[in-house]
């Protein structure tokens, strides 16, 4: 089973806050509680090989495991709701190690620091009388943290996907690539669905089965693999690399790093449900940026893992 180091008090406070917002469900992740895993193969295009020495981005295909999920900490969130989705990919490298890309269907995050995220969770806590979030508290958070406005706008217009396989997913953080000559370049990742993006209306979303996305993807796979393209945006000098609330300009150069083909549900869902998909699990040729949210996610995931592994 995956091990993890001693975690910070702040990480405990954040996971406690997540439980107050979504509830505590023993045995489940504190975010992206309900998910399903699939076998996949990643075929690099070779276009990234001159920018990074990372093994999975050279020229040989590698196996991968993909977890699709709803972002909520409750496993009972309806698939037809306007809510976050996740696509986490674990690349199985030739040397027996792994590296992860963890992405969501939002281009930016809602907080620039772990402390701000803790404050956001406080603003999202439900009123004990009404059972709903107080819009005034959320508005006050945005007023104090205007960098969060773009993320909240993205949440308000978040699509309801026809399929897990027809949504777009962003890894939101910057990473630093290093090539064989030692040259460094900051990048951001985005998964583009091979079929294009296809959404449902709110009316059609509410008409779906509560967990329609899993069954839909399994049925879709009966007709053949479901594909995604890994697009990589390249930073220019001055682009923010330490703030997940800020997008880079749309005119930045992009490359296609490779193509992912999802083939079938994994044979052992219980095993993969217990695993951690961690954006800080990197490999040679890739380094973390100075984004404090990115580094903090490792500690928060470790707290969540400890609780769910002890069925608390």
Q: Residue 201: is its pLDDT beyond 60?
A: yes
Tell me the pLDDT tens digit for each residue of 104-145.
Answer: 999 999 999 999 999 999 999 988 888 899 999 999 999 999
CB 112 within 8 A of CB 147: yes
Residues involved in catalysis: 32
Per-residue pLDDT at 131: 85
What is the spatial distance between Cα 25 and Cα 307, in angstroms, rounded to a whole number? 10
Per-residue pLDDT at 26: 94
Alpha helices in the chain (DSSP H): 9-22, 114-124, 135-144, 149-156, 202-206, 212-221, 269-273, 292-309
Per-residue pLDDT at 3: 41
**β-strands 98-104, 85-92: how paired?**
antiparallel
Kindly state the average pLDDT of the residues 192-221: 96
Give me the chain's average pLDDT, please: 95
Tell me the pLDDT tens digit for each residue of 239-281.
Answer: 999 999 999 999 999 999 999 999 999 999 999 999 999 999 9
CB 239 within 8 A of CB 252: yes
What is the spatial distance between Cα 250 and Cα 246, in angstroms, rounded to a whole number? 12
Q: Residue 149: is its pLDDT beyond 80?
A: yes
CB 33 within 8 A of CB 70: yes
Tell me the pLDDT tens digit for each residue of 1-45.
Answer: 344 334 589 999 999 999 999 999 999 999 999 999 999 999 999
Strand extents, DSSP E, 236-292? 254-265, 286-288
Name every residue whose Cβ is closer than 8 Å to that of residue 222 and which is 6 or more positions away in sequence: none
Name every residue whose Cβ is closer than 8 Å to that of residue 128 and which is 6 or more positions away in sequence: none
**Percent of residues, the chain, with pLDDT higher than 90:** 94
SS3 letters for 160-217?
EECCHHHCCEECCCCEEEECCCCCEEEEEEEEEECCCCCEECHHHHHCCCCCHHHHHH
């Amino acid at each position: 089973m995956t091990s993890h180091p001693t975690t910070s008090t702040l990480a405990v406070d954040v996971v406690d806050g997540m439980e107050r917002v979504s509830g505590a469900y023993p045995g489940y992740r504190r975010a992206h509680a309900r998910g399903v895993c699939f076998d996949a193969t990643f075929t690099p295009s070779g276009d990234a090989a001159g920018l990074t020495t990372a093994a999975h981005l050279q020229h040989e295909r590698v196996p991968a495991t993909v977890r699709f999920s709803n972002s909520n900490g409750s496993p009972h969130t309806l698939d037809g709701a306007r809510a976050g989705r996740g696509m986490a990919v674990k690349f199985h490298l030739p040397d027996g190690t792994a590296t992860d890309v963890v992405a969501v269907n939002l281009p930016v995050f809602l907080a620039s620091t772990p402390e701000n995220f803790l404050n956001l969770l406080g603003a999202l806590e439900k009123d004990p009388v009404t059972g709903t979030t107080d819009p005034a508290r959320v508005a006050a958070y945005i007023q104090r943290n205007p960098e969060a406005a773009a993320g909240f706008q993205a949440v308000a217009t978040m699509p309801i996907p026809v399929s897990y396989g027809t949504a777009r997913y962003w890894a939101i953080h910057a990473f630093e690539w290093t090539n064989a000559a030692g040259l460094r370049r900051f990048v951001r990742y985005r998964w583009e669905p091979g079929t294009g993006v296809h959404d449902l209306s709110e009316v059609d979303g509410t008409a779906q089965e509560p967990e329609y996305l899993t069954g839909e993807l399994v049925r879709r796979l009966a007709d053949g693999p479901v594909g995604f393209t890994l697009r990589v945006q390249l930073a220019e000098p001055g682009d923010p690399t330490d703030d997940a609330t800020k997008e880079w300009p749309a005119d930045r150069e992009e490359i296609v790093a490779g193509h992912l083909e999802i083939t079938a549900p994994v044979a052992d869902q219980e095993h993969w449900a217990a695993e951690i998909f961690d954006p800080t699990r990197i490999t040679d040729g890739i380094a973390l940026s100075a984004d404090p949210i990115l580094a903090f996610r490792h500690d928060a995931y470790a707290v969540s893992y400890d609780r769910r592994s002890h069925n608390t």
